[in-house]
Structure 1
Amino acid sequence: MKTVLLSVAALLTVSAANAQTWMVDKSHAKVGFTVTHLMLSEVDGNFKTYDAKITASKPDLSDAVVELTVDANSIDTDNERRDGDLRGDRFFNVAQYPTITFKSTSFQKVEGKKYKLNGNLTMHGVTKPVTLDAVLTGPVTMDSPRGKQEKAGLKVTGTIKRSDFSLGTIPVAVVSDEVELKAAGEFAKQDASMAEKK
């Protein structure tokens, strides 16, 4: 039994040592959401400030761990009054809960480029497991000013309930309980020295 445990520990150590970090290119990325207003029309919003990365030891990223950190105060729905209300204690309460985080627990291939992304979403002081749909494109090697660089595209979509995170008591006839999540971006593989600086 001891030998087995040592072997597992050795494999985990090797896997961690081989892990590569892929950072989001914010000039080609977006983190957003959509809700339904008065059961009639859709209202879109996004977060202007965030960080995201993928960690993987396999070259095809099929063992990816996806992490996202969002500045809740950066919410933007193209309406200053509404954004101020969303930042207040009726909704996100950004003074008390300034960040929204997600970290995946599994990345399961469905078919082709499609995956199921499972993880823990923390928002408004509440952490819940969520399952999202993901499409992974690449990785591909491309020319850049620094020479050859590996890049990948990741698109994530899914639906959560704002009531699960105690986000507002406003009736669902005014703002839907269901919130569609939409995030997409390009990720660039970091070399060892860049990854250490991150």
Structure 2
Amino acid sequence: MKKILITLSAALALVSFVVLDAGSWSLDAGHSRLGFTVKHMEISETVGQFDKFDVKITTPNADFSDATIELTAEAKTVNTYLSMRDDHLRSADFFDVEKHPTITFKSTSVKKAKGNNYVIKGNFTMHGVTKTVVLAGVHNGTTKNRAGADLAGLKISGMIKRSEYGVGVTMPNTVVADEIYLNADLEVSKN
């Protein structure tokens, strides 16, 4: 009987550890970036970012496997460091921010691949169109800040085709490539 109680106590302690390990994480916007790269005129790349975005992550595991990731970007905050181009991107020719103010991603699965690499599947919505995408993720590590709060670093990248979302459909691919490369460098803190 004593052996059973010890085993049961150990099992309960393990379950308590797993429950404590689960958690939700919020974006540290000052240490994060949501960017993109697109080929211009088939010879160079234009980079940009969304200045206002939010990410929420809920995970049952310390290594972020099986996490749920939700990202929302304000389309009107697109920033390519050229105001005339940014205004054009906000227009009905591209993002049409008056009708479609947000760009969102919600994961449907986060699976650990090899090492700190992950395969992230989910629904990406832009310009009122939702498509399933597969993104690559890297867990850069977890640490504590000076106040003792848990921090984690994540990198997420992937490619979408703007034509599939009805974005910039009148713009020839030779001027602005169809392939848009997304990259998010995220620092999140445990709630």
**Same fold, TM-score > 0.5, yes or no:** yes
Instruction: Say if 2:121 is the partner of 1:124.
Output: no
Cα distance, 1:137 vs structure 2: 2.2
Cα distance, 1:19 vs structure 2: 4.6
Instruction: Say if 2:175 is the partner of 1:184.
Output: no
Q: Take 2:61 and 2:133, find their aligned partners in 1: how far apart are those partners? A: 24
* Identical aligned residues as a percent: 45
- Which residue of 1 is the match for residue 30 of structure 2? 27
Q: Take 2:149 and 2:26, find their aligned partners in 1: how far apart are those partners? A: 12
Instruction: Say if 2:79 is the partner of 1:76.
Output: yes
SS at match of 1:94: coil
Cα distance, 1:110 vs structure 2: 1.1
When the two structures are superposed, what TM-score results if normalisation uses the length of structure 2? Answer: 0.86
SS at match of 1:86: helix
- Which residue of 1 is the match for residue 150 of structure 2? 150
Q: Take 2:164 and 2:19, find their aligned partners in 1: how far apart are those partners? A: 34
Decide which of 43, 47, 51 is 1:44's aligned counterpart. 47
Cα distance, 1:18 vs structure 2: 7.8
Larger radius of gyration: 2
- Which residue of 1 is the match for residue 91 of structure 2? 88
SS at match of 2:163: helix
When the two structures are superposed, what TM-score results if normalisation uses the length of structure 1? Answer: 0.83
Cα RMSD over matched residues?
1.6
Q: Take 2:105 and 2:55, find their aligned partners in 1: how far apart are those partners? A: 9
Q: Take 1:18 and 1:110, find their aligned partners in 2: how far apart are those partners? A: 21
Stretches (4+) displaced over 2 A: 15-19, 137-140
Unaligned runs of 5+ in 1: 1-14, 191-198
